[in-house]
Structure 1
């Protein structure tokens, strides 16, 4: 399992939600996630769907504000979940 680095940018409509920003190869995307899914400024994105030389295609846990579920992110924004626990 992989985790994606995000930046918290605000509160969601519900007290249990937060708005986060994801750095993608084409700019940043915002999405609303559960506060519980945000751990050390990262969210779980499962396993990569595709890869290019310097980017990885991931599926987000929720739709972004622009309607995207899958985004290309720089490889340095991803890390294995085990690394987080160590």
Structure 2
């Protein structure tokens, strides 16, 4: 599964990008390898929860605020 993201900067290494994901609690940012970005989306784990149109997904890396799992709107997740 993939979640839509927005690139917002570069990481410490030339191959890294900082991306933003819109979550139920507000935007979250994390650093990912640029090779994992495809068509403005990022590969995430299969949703581990669902509630009121939101999916709980596991991210490939920890966000700046320390989250590994985030609630996202079902509309930004693709198969």
Provide TM-score, normalisation by structure 1.
Answer: 0.90
Number of residues paired by the alignment? 79
Which aligned segments of 4 or more residues in structure 1 are displaced greater than 3 angstroms?
none
| 1:5-20 superposed matches below 5 A | 5-20=4-19
Greater helix percent: which structure?
1
| Structure 1 unpaired stretches of 5+ | 81-86
Question: Hey, what does 2:50 align to over in structure 1?
Answer: 51
Aligned counterpart, 1:84 = none
Q: Distance in 2 between matches of 1:23 and 1:14?
A: 24
Deviation at 1:54, TM superposition (A): 1.1
> For 1:27 and 1:69, how far apart are their aligned partners in 2?
15
